[in-house]
Amino acid sequence: MTDAARRPTAIDRFLNVVEKGGNALPHPATLFALLALLVVLLSGVAAFFEVTAPHPATGETISVVNLLSIEGLHRMSTSMVTNFTSFAPLGTVLVALLGIGVAEHSGLIGASLRLLVLSSPRFLLTPVMVFAGVMSNMASEIGYVLLVPLAGLIFLAAGRHPILGMAAAFAGVSGGYSANLLIGTIDPLLAGLSQESARIIDPEYTVTPVANWYFMIASTPVVTALGWFATEKIVAPRFPDQPTRVPSDTDVADPDDDPESQRLKPEEKRGLWWALGACAVVTLLLVWSALPSGLFWGSGFMRDPVTDDLLRSPFLSSVVAIIFVYGVVAGITYGVVAGTVKSDEDVIKGMGQSMSTLGVYLVLTFFAAQFVAYFNWTQLGLIFAVEGAGVLDAARALVLGGAEEPAAWRWALAKIIIMAGFIALTAVANLFMGSASAKWALMAPIFVPMFMILGYSPELTQIAYRIGDSVTNIISPMMSYFALIIAFLQRYEPKAGIGTVIAVMLPYSVVFAIGWTVLFSLWLFLGLPIGPGAPLEYIPVAPEVDL
């Protein structure tokens, strides 16, 4: 390790300030409880001063609903339970994690990651490590707990510096959090929050869990390439190669961490093949259900029964159920063949363990649900959105140059500048509040309606948020697994601390921010859809007029 990691630098001092500022914030659950109380108080003050705004769709006057009243107290007390139970992200996350829990508990996900990493040639270790980290995001914390330490061991055995391997894996797991070829548990969670916020403007608006899927797929090879570049061209010179050797007990906490011991056993390989076959069968059934009736023997029973459309159909509305089915079928198949699932008790145990990790999340969700409900009831969110949209619209007018009919490139440029600014804002906020769902629950009720008024879709706002949230995860001391990463680095560098992790990971954060924003800008300029049935623009439905 270089002296830069031992002597406080300007970056270290800056990040110490960030850490202290973040630690000074209350727990996210407490924060939402305080924000809910603040909304109640603001509604009373705003109602007293008769704060109003014109509705962006109908032109009607929006008045603040006062919750600091007898009627408001009745509404809050009688709706407390339903606010929580009807909160859109709650059920989707619970159901998706039940399926993922089976796949994780059976060992399927861990074996798949080990196979991917251990079977890669030396010159491809870095991109494979980043790619494996990106793909691990669909399975909760498995990437942090399994892949990051395993990456250090693999690099050490290959004669490369172990910290370099852990950095590449961590960059993929945390920095590439919003890229993936598959839909994970975070997608329905964020989509639910976006939908709740979009309905402030449009009560019928729906955001599906696959709303950002096309962009996520395109982001996966881009993030992998960016992580490969940052590792080899920027980070690697600080961590020269080492003689090839098997780690000793002084390097790692457990002698079983020998890379050779991580190789798949015959029963695990058989389990993976059978799980792959089971997934293929499920995939064929899903394709059959989604094909139009009569086309290649398709049934079409999962398409819209009225319009025969697939974009707004039971198929896309069942994404969470599909994740559950894949997790259960593949997990049970692997477990039975590999010998890790011997009875139904093992399946239920896997589901139970995934639920046992959600205690804090449920508490957070309870208070977040109250905050979102109060924000919607008072109509403060809509008023803030109208006023904020006016400011952004003035900024957009400057970019458009005041022409009556601006050129198409000017419209695209204005959209890119505004969204890039939102990405930057999210990236900075992420340094102080690590939870992606907690931040989005706080930001979505303001920014989703605000951008809808400007004509930008909730799905577009959501993907911009996800980019900003991802790129600074790896340098945010508030990220929940940051302390764990420090502990992993200390296996090879005992003096490693927050400054060490930041110094190692900051190049990834900068490279990801630049590269991902460029990809996002090109996407907007070309006007490509970001997901199935997910437009870039929001066109409000004109209100019906009685003649």
How many Å apart are CA 515 and CA 521, to the nearest integer? 10
What are the residues facing 62 on neighbouring strands? 53
The answer to whether the beta carbons of residues 97 and 142 sit under 8 Å apart is no
2 vs 139, more confident: 139
The total number of structural domains in the chain stands at: 1
The confidence band for 260, taking pLDDT boundaries of 50, 70 and 90, is low
Residue 4, pLDDT > 60, answer no
The pLDDT of residue 467 is: 95
How many Å apart are CA 423 and CA 403, to the nearest integer? 27
Residue 13, pLDDT > 90, answer no
The answer to whether the beta carbons of residues 146 and 113 sit under 8 Å apart is yes
Mean pLDDT of 461-481: 86
Mean pLDDT of 10-17: 58
Considering just the CA atoms, what is the radius of gyration of the chain in Å? 25
Q: Is 165 helix (H, G, I), strand (E, B) or coil?
A: helix
Give the whole-number percent of the chain exceeding pLDDT 70. Answer: 81
**Looking at the domain assignment, is residue 298 inside a domain?**
no
- The pLDDT tens digits of the residues spanning 305-352 come to 777 776 667 876 787 788 789 889 999 999 999 999 988 899 999 898
Per the listing, tokens 């098997």 go with 246
Cα 21 to Cα 10, 53, 319, 431, distances in angstroms: 17, 35, 39, 9
How many Å apart are CA 1 and CA 495, to the nearest integer? 9
Query: What are the backbone dihedrals phi and psi of residue 32, each rounded to the nearest 5 degrees, phi first?
Result: -70, -35
Full residue range of the structural domain in which residue 381 is found: 29-277+319-526
Q: Would you report the helix, strand and coil content of the chain in percent, each value rounded to 5?
A: 70, 0, 30
Average pLDDT over all residues of the chain: 81
**Looking at the domain assignment, is residue 10 inside a domain?**
no
Residue 227, pLDDT > 80, answer yes
Instruction: Using alpha carbons, select from 376, 464, 468 the residue that is nearest to residue 431.
Output: 468
The confidence band for 225, taking pLDDT boundaries of 50, 70 and 90, is very high
Residue 280 has, within 13 A of its CA and on its CB side, a CA count of 6
The pLDDT of residue 494 is: 81
Residue 359, pLDDT > 50, answer yes
How many Å apart are CA 204 and CA 263, to the nearest integer? 51
Please give the structure tokens belonging to residue 299.
């049934």
Residues 6+ apart with CB under 8 A from 330: 103, 108, 275, 278, 279
How many Å apart are CA 169 and CA 150, to the nearest integer? 9
How many Å apart are CA 131 and CA 150, to the nearest integer? 14
Mean pLDDT of 115-122: 74
The pLDDT of residue 54 is: 80
**Looking at the domain assignment, is residue 545 inside a domain?**
no
How many Å apart are CA 425 and CA 409, to the nearest integer? 24
Instruction: Using alpha carbons, select from 484, 473, 381 the residue that is nearest to residue 436.
Output: 473
Please give the structure tokens belonging to residue 300.
């079409």
Residue 377 has, within 13 A of its CA and on its CB side, a CA count of 24
* Counts of helices then strands in the chain (DSSP H, E): 22, 2
Residues 6+ apart with CB under 8 A from 390: none
261: Cα separation from own chain's centroid: 33
pTM of the model: 0.69
The answer to whether the beta carbons of residues 469 and 439 sit under 8 Å apart is yes
Please give the structure tokens belonging to residue 201.
């403007």
91: Cα separation from own chain's centroid: 17
Residue 41, pLDDT > 50, answer yes
How many Å apart are CA 530 and CA 214, to the nearest integer? 5
Please give the structure tokens belonging to residue 346.
């093992």
**Looking at the domain assignment, is residue 219 inside a domain?**
yes
